[in-house]
Structure 1
């Protein structure tokens, strides 16, 4: 069987997920329908490295299926994808549970990317049949940033093939038809297992929801500092939130959306006091569901005046949405934390300076929660497909980044065990405040080292005096 291309985010055709049961070959993704790839662009000094999950297990991807390491459901993994490489990982699946694997690719410092550069994730059975596949590309912002693609094995009604128990393989490969890039990428893999339902309900997506754009959320904006990765996403509820973002930076937020509820979101970039010209695609807003599967994109250009990017209307969360045509509706199949990733393209710095620029998020959660499906077992990890009272409290209070399935750490640092080092929670908050205030990473580090050294000297003097 061939691969079927599903609907990508409107206006952002570099993404897509393709179940294998429909017979259309996936073509090369290009920015806004342009066949020629835009020139490669380097970001010499990323303003904030990706925060990998602190609990992520380091694994080596295999060059073939024979040596593929097994991934366990409910766990996060950290790996790497060398230039021009393909890497394999193994899943041992039963005949009932659905399996979802999302891969986040993070270019290393100094990487060069083109609009068509990206990667592909496939899930295959032992006979080489592709159960599904997904792709992600950097798109017209022309700047390196975290991008995520996903693939799945589903066993419910309306699915074809890949239903038996056995060994399955996750295949991750680079997809750049125009150039050989000089650096490898780091990877974060998230493997989630969804049990079968105890009572099968309707397999048709619910209709009757309004596809019109909801009224924007108004009011005074409350401060909320975005995280640097999925694991450190800052929790948001319904409301208006403000932050600051630099060119080349990606900020992550998470929103609890229950069964029957409808999410809408808009990202607004403030005006600039200097510079001129126009950047065609400057601001990119991406939505991912609780298994980090891509749902929708929105983007906006920037010419110095305020600009905004709004997600297209999305259906209420419904288990039956998995049978919908297209990634936008099909992605709204779970209750749980939905992730908003906001990226500001590096070319903005060339015309309007390094910022930071004001960022406003308007988030609406419409509808009344309803009962979800009755599962025959537990998901892995637990509670991933529900919204708890603790989740709502976290969204309301705006818990500090680093609470989503473990904290994160700077992607440029070596892997260490959680809790290593002598820092305190106050130390972390101090560094976060420095970063939010616009101090560069190197300056913040030097300042922190100076503060730490002075404090150590004071403690030593007190001990000596005593």
Structure 2
């Protein structure tokens, strides 16, 4: 009976950790939407638009060429942000200009700001995020009043390619019962995650002149041994990482999300390196790896991609960015505007699905190197307390519960391992203490749990195996041993002029940097 118990306990102990890891492994085909996201349908006209509440996550969808209207009610003091994450069906081949655009307009139809993100050169499905904003002050004359504002979400497209698995989807739909719901993706629909965030105004006027220069040299990257991590499927389950070197095994065709805390006065720098692959054939994949940086309200800050990958290692690097500062929001450049809030900044790393086709394997080694430079500074004089913008209360609870679960899993695994090892050791001792019939008993030296580097004569003998001798002949049995001790919001301009946008599939409206000082927000 003892062997059976030991086997069961040992199997449980050895399988607990992998099982826990498997439970936490993101679904490769699913973007994880926010906890408690409300369903909402966009209207064809602003007259029928449904209101979005601040601090709330919404779930919607948009078809090819779709235009959806929503409403946000704003006061005259708070800055406002509306972000949209579009989720094309995994495996879909997109055109370069396929993407999502969000525009915030006042009651007169004047554009406060707009932003978009496109598929870009990679042309494969991945989460596409864009955020529009209403910013108070800084010499702006529009979008400063209280009232109802319109949020226009548009799906930009150069065509409507069918998913790579269109035939399989069609077959599954044909064989499904009439009452079964057909996935939205079957008709080319993209799912949407929409969030509305507001930021308090200041108690007193602050600086309105954005920096025009900052260190152009890339900050030094920390050394040390790489730590393993698995990225999340999106913003909501992004893996938390800190300064240092991180390694991941990434699947071609997927995008992995990581979050890094950046405070006021700090700046972030990161690289993503795609490891080498042995190949006998000359082949390459253009833009094999891309890395994007989003700020706490999910606005795109910076982007980079690798050149053609031919099996030799390639690296994507963020350009040097300014320190996080309140006045950055008044800059003309997108990447400076983006560094306007403290909080979680998100790194999204994507691998081109053609890597699997060209190099014959699904997973590739990727190394992230992250540097957060500078000391944290005091927050601006907000008129009311500000926590982590972009992180809602329900998400804080979920993150806390996740860490608690990880701790419990660790404790449970350790306890099972201790029980398993104890039972195994006891069984071994009993087997040695009870010799086979007709064989004289032999003493064994007293011994505890074997050290990891034990050699001959140090291990616990297996049942039925005589104890190995070490040095002189074994003496009589000794006494039993006693136990031993053993880490922030928007971007992409505003105003009527269209800017060049980000290389690789993003274009944002821009305006000349505002001048002068705006009136202080009302307390």
Report the TM-score, using the length of structure 2 for normalisation.
0.64
Q: 2:365 aligns with which of 358, 363, 366?
A: 358
In the alignment, is residue 298 of structure 1 matched against residue 304 of structure 2?
A: yes
Q: Which residue of 2 aligns with 1:231?
A: 236
In the alignment, is residue 171 of structure 1 matched against residue 171 of structure 2?
A: no
1:378 deviates by: 4.2
Q: Is 1:94–1:164's contact at 8 Å kept on the other side of the alignment?
A: yes
Q: Is 1:252–1:340's contact at 8 Å kept on the other side of the alignment?
A: yes
Q: Where in structure 1 are there 5+ consecutive unaligned residues?
A: 1-45, 387-401, 408-417, 431-466
Provide the rounded CA distance (Å) in 2 between the counterparts of 1:99 and 1:269.
Answer: 37
Q: Which residue of 2 aligns with 1:463?
A: none
Q: Which residue of 1 aligns with 2:284?
A: 278
The residue correspondences of 1:61-460 to structure 2 (distance < 5 A) are 61-179=42-160, 183-206=188-211, 209-274=214-279, 276-301=282-307, 302-379=309-386, 382-384=387-389, 406=398
Rate the CA distance shift 1:405–1:174 in 2: closer, same or farther, 3 A: farther
RMSD: 2.5
Q: Is 2:51–2:72's contact at 8 Å kept on the other side of the alignment?
A: yes
Q: Which residue of 1 aligns with 2:463?
A: none
Provide the rounded CA distance (Å) in 2 between the counterparts of 1:242 and 1:280.
Answer: 22
SS in 1 for 2:138: coil
Deviations 1:274-304 (A, max 9, x none): 4641111110100000111110001003111
1:429 deviates by: 8.2
1:55 deviates by: 2.4
SS in 1 for 2:327: helix
SS in 1 for 2:155: strand
Provide the rounded CA distance (Å) in 1 between the counterparts of 2:253 and 2:117.
Answer: 18
Farther-moved stretch of structure 1 (254-263 vs 273-282) = 273-282
1:210 deviates by: 0.9
Deviations 1:87-118 (A, max 9, x none): 11110111111111111110024533111111
Provide the rounded CA distance (Å) in 2 between the counterparts of 1:172 and 1:404.
Answer: 28
Q: Is 1:283–1:300's contact at 8 Å kept on the other side of the alignment?
A: yes
1:213 deviates by: 1.4
Higher strand content, 1 or 2: 1
Aligned residues: 353
Provide the rounded CA distance (Å) in 2 between the counterparts of 1:403 and 1:237.
Answer: 19
Q: Is 2:35–2:395's contact at 8 Å kept on the other side of the alignment?
A: no
Q: Which residue of 1 aligns with 2:496?
A: none
Q: Is 2:92–2:161's contact at 8 Å kept on the other side of the alignment?
A: no
Provide the rounded CA distance (Å) in 2 between the counterparts of 1:56 and 1:90.
Answer: 17
Q: Which runs of 4+ in 1 moved over 4 A?
A: 178-182, 402-407
Report the TM-score, using the length of structure 1 for normalisation.
0.71
